[in-house]
Structure 1
Amino acid sequence: MRTVGVEEELLVVDATGIPVPKGPEALELAARAGEGEDVAQHDRAERGERETPETAHLMPELKAQQLELGTPVCTTLDDVRRELRHWRDRADAAASAVGARVAALATSPVAVEPVPTEGERYARLGETFGMTAWDVLTCGCHVHVSVDDDEEGVAVLNRIRVWLPLLTAMTANSPFWRGRDTAYASFRSQVWHRWPSAGPNGPFTDAADYHRLVEEVLATGTVLDTGMVYFDARISAKWPTVEVRTADVALRVEDAVTLAGVVRGLVETAARDARAGGEVPQMRPEVLRLAAWRAGRSGLSGELVHPLTGRPVPAADVLGDLLEHIRPALADAGDEQTVSDGVRQLLTRGTGADLQRRVHRETGDLAAVVRAAVAVTSGADADGASAGATG
């Protein structure tokens, strides 16, 4: 059984829906309240270090209007669901202690001026990358799945790369950007690709080839460290995992669980195919960038570039092919029913982007969108309807 862990970034917002720079203060209060072993200390983030996949945590992010949570290593999707619910509650409690709440939104629907978190590394990011770093206030979701070693990890990366844009479409949760409808389902994915090291790769011949690319990226002097190797999927520098990084933070815990199950299914399917000597799917990085753009533009409401043909296909059909592709792995992990039901729900009720736009149509108020997101994030309101309608 491959283990799985999930990291989520959340917005810290006030009662009017505006993201407020209270993330570091919330973490300090949580630590003083006796949660020191669970709350990552500021100097760890300062050094660009991440918590291990084995350690549950809350920690700061690039902007002070954010918190990050991470689950411990999980074996079942029930574990993932329980841990995400627990750590979202812990993050919300930490924010509530400083007069705020958390919202699983991948961008801010309302106008906001991003405030960088204090610290040397965050300052260097601003100095080096200018507006790209100053302007960004986005929240993603990263899924770690265990692999035997770097060779298996590279074999997995080679085979899952063509499916990664679909994960952006499944989790699309950023239709608004600081007061405006962007016409995208995931505008976060557009903003994220401003970073010079972000995006898809071509296939690798082996683990040595992968590590040579990382060394060449660092040798350009463009990124600060290995933590800034923002590939769509990468091998962890410290832990035996593949990390998939293309998703928006999901508004609903259930959708994050579906994502985790899909990613684990993709990793296991890819590893089996590699052991059987299967061919690596061939799609140029330039075409993958187009596929990623289309996924961010329409989410699940339009056509997506099919991972195996490179041609536009209705999103529901691509999701159906994804499920067939990973079904044996899902079944062996006991995930088939959970993931199939989760995909069905996404196609029936829509993504977080769909919910945000629905609340906005009903209320005409972007602050109501944030209130609805707070309620869904906390688990108090599954669809956000009543929260969005109240002031």
Structure 2
Amino acid sequence: MAVSMGVEEEFHVVDVESRMLVARAHEVLDRLPARGFVTEFLQSVVESNSGVHVSLDALHEDLARSRQTLSEAASGLGLAIVAAGTAPLARVGTVDATPHPRYLHMVDEYRLVADEQLICGVQFHVDVPDRDTAVRAMCVVSPWLPTLLALSTSSPFWLGRDTGYASWRTLLWQRWPTSGPAGCFASAADYDAAVTGLVRSGVISDAGMVYYDIRPSAHQQTLELRICDACPRVETVVMIAGLFRALVVDACAAVRGTGECGHTRPQWLRAMTWRAARSGLGGDLVDPTTGLAGPARAVVRTMLTRLRPTLEEFGDWELVSAMTEETLDLGDVAHQLRRIAAGGDLTAAVDFLMAQTRTRPATGAPVPAPGRR
């Protein structure tokens, strides 16, 4: 079976000397190819769009190549790129929105919520048979999204302070009026009617402002995952891509069967997401199979075991399971950053993120983490 996937990565632009977030994305973009890199809402972020791939190895090579190109463009300007949910060192009020009418309207309408949008995520697209299936599959996949978030958590610091959360980006992101759990819909028409109603209400200006944790793409025949923090290591991105593809494939099969969804009520999903954002892999997660708190490592392994048949079908089992176990051994990036900055030196945390984000071109299978075999 061939099911294609693609990734959109967002990167902070930071000054190499000060390690501060800076509004110089346009300068970096001027040095990049016209295809594959785009501006974002704020001028401190550059987005990289991968090609469409069937194999995880090909996706890894693509992402690594894009990161190298982006890093080289930034370094020539005394800048660096950082893939993380938040940049540890930043100041609100120093970064303007990209001068586009849509973005300027958002600044005017949402005020401090927009001003404090100093965050980066990574989005995953997986092909689906049709839009109806995509909408119904969202309901089945949703209980496992907080587990994917926990694997990606990389934003414990905000404006130079430790927030106590593994993903403070999640808390900032959830302030938008149409973010968070998507809920369940009977069909694509049902979902589209809800979005049309939101636009008609005036709360959002267009369908692109529906920022659910998972959503059917408006422009492609894909299901899009939006819950994750940006990930410093490209291997983490590849791992989550493999897990998400398996979740989507299983969900598409499920909606043709019983359609059993588990814990999908919005209050459950929001609570599960908060738990993942608070603790990452360093505490408990809510197990979607029981609705009870359990050690994060156990919940991740439960998901991995459930997905094993599909991962094996794609030839992804050995790679994804090894990457997942490595991630559990290393711990999430949020806790790694806290250890590095334990003495209060956030510049060391930024240096770690810059080094982890830089990557050499892939020459085959994804490489292991530094210092590991």
Q: Which residue of 1 aligns with 2:213?
A: 232
Whether 1:110 aligns to 2:97 is no
Kindly provide the amino acid, as one letter, of the partner of residue 22 in structure 2: V
Alignment partner, residue 72 of structure 2: 93
**Residue 282 of structure 1: how far off its partner (Å):** 4.1
Q: Which runs of 5+ in 2 are unaligned?
A: 361-366
Higher RCO (CA-CA < 8 Å; seq separation 6+)? 2
**Residue equivalent to 1:20:** 22
CA drift at 1:382:
7.7
CA contact (8 A) 2:282 2:332 kept: no
Query: For residues 290-301 of structure 1, what are the structure 2 equivalents within 5 Å?
Result: 290-301=271-282
SS at match of 1:102: strand
Q: Is the 8 A contact 2:83 2:232 kept in 1?
A: yes
Q: Are the counterparts in 2 of residues 105 and 250 from structure 1 also a CA contact under 8 Å?
A: yes
Deviations, residues 95-136 of structure 1 (Å, cap 9, x unaligned): 223221101121021132333222222211100101000111
1:354 is displaced (CA, Å) by 2.0
Aligned match of 1:375: 355
Amino acid at match of 2:5: V
Aligned to 1:49: none
User: 1:383 and 1:178 mapped to 2: Cα distance?
Assistant: 28
| Alignment size in residue pairs | 361
Q: What is the distance in 1 between the residues matched to 2:8 and 2:223?
A: 13
Deviation of 1:73 after TM superposition, in Å, equals: 0.3
- Aligned counterpart, 1:242: 223
Question: What's 1:42 paired with?
Answer: none
> What's the TM-score once normalised by structure 1's chain length?
0.89
The residue that corresponds to 1:334 in the other structure is 315
Is 1:185 the equivalent of 2:166? yes
**Which sections of structure 1, spanning at least 5 residues, go unmatched?**
39-56, 386-391
What's the CA shift for 1:384?
A: 8.0
Tell me the percent identity.
37
User: 2:196 aligned with 1:215, yes or no?
Assistant: yes
Offset from partner CA, 1:19-72 (integer Å, 9 cap, x none): 111101211232xxxx22x2xxxxxxxxxxxxxxxxxx1111111111111101
- Correspondence 1:79-228 to 2 at 5 A: 79-113=58-92, 114-228=95-209
Asked whether the 8 Å contact 2:59–2:238 carries over to 1, the reply is yes
Per-residue CA deviations over 1:179-208 (Å, capped at 9, x if unaligned) read 100100010000000100001132111221
Separation in 1, partners of 2:218, 2:82: 30
Q: Is the 8 Å Cα contact of residues 5 and 127 (structure 2) preserved in structure 1?
A: yes
> What secondary structure is seen at the aligned counterpart in 2 of 1:248?
coil
1:253 to 234, 249, 252: 234
Q: Is the 8 A contact 1:144 1:242 kept in 2?
A: yes
Equivalent pair of 1:4/1:74 in contact (CA under 8 Å): yes
Matches of 1:24 and 1:343, distance apart in 2: 36
Report Cα offsets for 1:298-322 as digits up to 9, x if no partner. 0011111111222111111111110
Q: Which runs of 4+ in 1 moved over 3 A?
A: 380-385
AA in 2 matched with 1:19: L
- 1:384–1:224 CA distance, 2 compared to 1 (3 A): farther
Query: CA–CA distance in 2 between the matches of 1:122 and 1:216?
Result: 21
CA RMSD in angstroms, aligned pairs only: 1.7
More helix by proportion, 1 or 2? 1
* Aligned equivalents of 2:169, 2:130: Cα separation in 1: 31
Tell me, yes or no, if the aligned pair for 1:12 and 1:23 is still in contact at 8 Å.
yes
- The one-letter amino acid paired with 1:118 is P
CA contact (8 A) 1:89 1:378 kept: yes
Match runs of 1:282-321 below 5 Å? 282-321=263-302
Q: What one-letter code is carried by the residue in structure 2 that aligns with 1:229?
A: V
Secondary structure at the residue paired with 2:341? helix
The 1:310/1:202 distance shift into structure 2, 3 A limit, reads same
Contact 1:109/1:370 (8 A) holds in 2: yes
Secondary structure of 2:31's aligned partner: helix
